[in-house]
Structure 1
Amino acid sequence: MKSTTLELNKSSRIDIRKGLNKYVLELILLVIVIAMAFASPGFLTSENLLNILRNIALQGCIAFGMTMVIIAGEIDLSIGSTVALTGVIIGLTTGWLSSSGIMPMDQAVVVGIVLSFVVAGLIGLFNGWIMTKYKMPSFIVTLAMLNVIYGLAAVVSKGFPVTTLPSWYNELGSGEFLSVPIPAILLLLVFAIVYTVMNYTKFGRSVYAVGGNPESARLSGIHVPRVKIICMVVVQLCSALSGVLVSSQVMSGSFSFGKGWEMMAISSVIIGGTSLMGGIGKVRGTFIGLIFLGVLINAMTLLNVNEYVQYIVRGLLILVAVLIASIQYMKKKG
């Protein structure tokens, strides 16, 4: 009887430990929220919370696409440059079509948006094709494309912001629907789509299989290159969406937009528990990682923490998240 009780107690402790390990990020987030509720009266206001959602929406849309890419065992460093190119394409297309009298500005900007998504899809297609066709590391391919696309955006815009946009375009990035920022609504929509794909479709299971063991996936009938290419296209389309939103907010397109956004997106994915080794991760975890970073940055801003100190904190968070993931991976392998 006594030994049975000890075994039950031991089992309970193990379950509690597993639960704490599983929800450690949520628990830390809860502690920060409670602490900030006392430290700053304005933190828990609806205005500030909606502002956090608006701020994380731009990089957040990309983060969900990046989750698919990293689970598939790859990475994309060119997403920030696609954000920049998107705004430039929309501005230049709108200006050219409207100034030449082909169509009114209100219609021209729609053509610009569609064209920017087409270009982003082609960039993702090229990235995926060259890395799968010639067995090139996605890190190298997308690092090279990061510079190529930024340079292209700077050349076609001649280094100046492009501002030929209709007034209603600002609503996409700054407007609200039922008092909720439109970027936040789009963020939730992208989350819902990617979550559904990754958890309830055959393609989602294929992404996990490809990232976990490409050779086993191939032997089981999965077209590994096609899965990886689709993931690369998806993250580029998500980047184009973010490019539309940021150009809408500032009502211009510029080659300087999106710089460093890849780090925010990758940080959210890693902090959310997705392994850089591929095959492990959850879209839900990325969403929690996004909220965690958004709340943390907002809290440090409200507390007037030095901007450079904020970089240190974020960098340490990424390091700790990767360290924890590596330790857990080694335990499973061991």
Structure 2
Amino acid sequence: MTTKQKVHEFISKYMLSIILVVLIICISFANRSFLTANNILNILRTMSMKGIVAFGMTFVIIAGEIDLSIGSTIGLSGVIVGVVAGNLSSAGTMSLEAATWVGILVAIIVGILIGLFDGFLLTKFNMPSFIITLGMMKLIYGIAAVLAKGFPVTTLGSWYTELGAGNAGIIPIPAIFLAAVFIISFVLLKYTGFGRNVYAVGGNAEAARLSGINVKATRVLIMVIVQVCAVIAGVLVSSQVMSGSFSFGSGWEMTVISAVIIGGASLSGGKGKITGTLLGLAFLGVIQNAMTLMGVDNYIQYIVEGALVLIAVLFNTLQTRKSE
């Protein structure tokens, strides 16, 4: 391999990392408050919840599927915690503090059931995951709105705020959850048979089936994983503001999928890494924070984010064609 080829391979492999470093340097010169400790911790706290869902979405996209309902699940989770905690405490069954824990447990169970239902429709009827989760997005949103009766639910234990707004030293608690989900996801995808199955199913489901892989079970599990991640994020979001609302998580699908795609995953499946998603998340976090510091309008931020996704998809497509 010539030096030119080695340089080209290096740039292709680490392009996002290089762009991210250059971007951070440029923004830090343009705005002195960007690299302050408070701002870095703010980026970390803000992107941690979306990152947790993005790691779950990585499994789904690598397997060649998609989940558009995660935003609605985020909203539903906070509502469930508040409604369960409020009803149990008002009935005198237990204290509000204990009832909040029960609410979290119920939210996790509901998330698992949603994932199982999605997986059932996907594997039993061969329905496209895009259509399934598009319908579930509206269904879950409606259920959350009915449970909340159209208003934020604020009956929560006093300790609950620590999950989303608390710190362990100087590290935001949500960042600790992010790190834990990252490590678990990284190990699952890289070092377990399940991870290899996810890649195989996304690369060629029929070939995976013929090689003895339980394709249906793999698809069901990835749908459960992303829903559980959405529940965790929903709990953290609602605890940050001490209320549950069906509108929380609205539009998160775009940011989460963007992070995974920008991180190098392919929508056609079989390709992607958790570390790539982490880089994609950091890239989006830096971009969004910089635009906020510069006073860029939210609608312009949507345009920029959408353009970045299109560029990432185009780049992945060109790379795939070139490798073929």
TM-score, normalising length: structure 2: 0.99
SS in structure 2 opposite 1:155? helix
Q: How many angstroms apart in 2 are the aligned matches of 1:327 and 1:36?
A: 29
Q: State which of 58, 76, 83 in structure 1 corresponds to 2:74.
A: 83
Q: How many angstroms apart in 1 are the aligned matches of 2:132 and 2:30?
A: 45
Partner of 2:83: 92
Return structure 1 stretches of 4+ with deviation > 6 angstroms: none
SS in structure 2 opposite 1:23? helix
Q: State which of 296, 300, 314 in structure 2 corresponds to 1:323.
A: 314
Q: State which of 104, 129, 135 in structure 1 corresponds to 2:120.
A: 129
Q: Deviations over 1:205-234 (max 9, x none)?
A: 010001001011111110001001000000
Q: How many angstroms apart in 2 are the aligned matches of 1:278 and 1:233?
A: 18
The AA in structure 2 aligned to 1:272 is G
Partner of 2:92: 101
Q: Deviations over 1:252-283 (max 9, x none)?
A: 11111110011111000000000000000111
Deviation at 1:63, TM superposition (A): 0.3
Structural mapping, 1:119-198, within 5 Å: 119-198=110-189
Q: Deviations over 1:235-263 (max 9, x none)?
A: 00000000000110111111111100111
Partner of 2:21: 30
Partner of 1:55: 46
Q: How many angstroms apart in 2 are the aligned matches of 1:255 and 1:281?
A: 31
Partner of 1:272: 263
Greater C-alpha radius of gyration: 1
Q: Deviations over 1:74-121 (max 9, x none)?
A: 000010010011011100000000000000011000000000000000
The alignment-based identity, stated in percent, is: 57
Deviation at 1:306, TM superposition (A): 2.3
Q: How many angstroms apart in 1 are the aligned matches of 2:148 and 2:29?
A: 48
Q: How many angstroms apart in 2 are the aligned matches of 1:332 and 1:24?
A: 17
Q: Deviations over 1:138-189 (max 9, x none)?
A: 0000000000000001111111111101121101000000210000111111
Structure 2: 5+ residue stretches without partners: none
SS in structure 2 opposite 1:256? coil
Aligned length: 324
Deviation at 1:307, TM superposition (A): 2.1
Q: How many angstroms apart in 1 are the aligned matches of 2:10 and 2:234?
A: 38
The answer on 1:296 being equivalent to 2:292 is no
Q: How many angstroms apart in 2 are the aligned matches of 1:310 and 1:134?
A: 38
Q: How many angstroms apart in 2 are the aligned matches of 1:305 and 1:247?
A: 26
The AA in structure 1 aligned to 2:168 is F
The answer on 1:234 being equivalent to 2:225 is yes
Q: How many angstroms apart in 2 are the aligned matches of 1:310 and 1:92?
A: 34
Deviation at 1:58, TM superposition (A): 1.2
Structural mapping, 1:244-259, within 5 Å: 244-259=235-250
SS in structure 2 opposite 1:280? coil
CA RMSD of aligned residues (A): 0.8
Structural mapping, 1:196-207, within 5 Å: 196-207=187-198
Q: State which of 5, 8, 14 in structure 1 corresponds to 2:5.
A: 14
Q: How many angstroms apart in 2 are the aligned matches of 1:45 and 1:192?
A: 27
The AA in structure 2 aligned to 1:38 is F
Q: Deviations over 1:277-328 (max 9, x none)?
A: 0000111000000000001111111122222221111111000000000011
Deviation at 1:126, TM superposition (A): 0.3
Q: How many angstroms apart in 2 are the aligned matches of 1:255 and 1:52?
A: 24
The answer on 1:110 being equivalent to 2:85 is no
Q: How many angstroms apart in 2 are the aligned matches of 1:31 and 1:304?
A: 21
Q: State which of 34, 55, 69 in structure 1 corresponds to 2:60.
A: 69
Partner of 1:218: 209
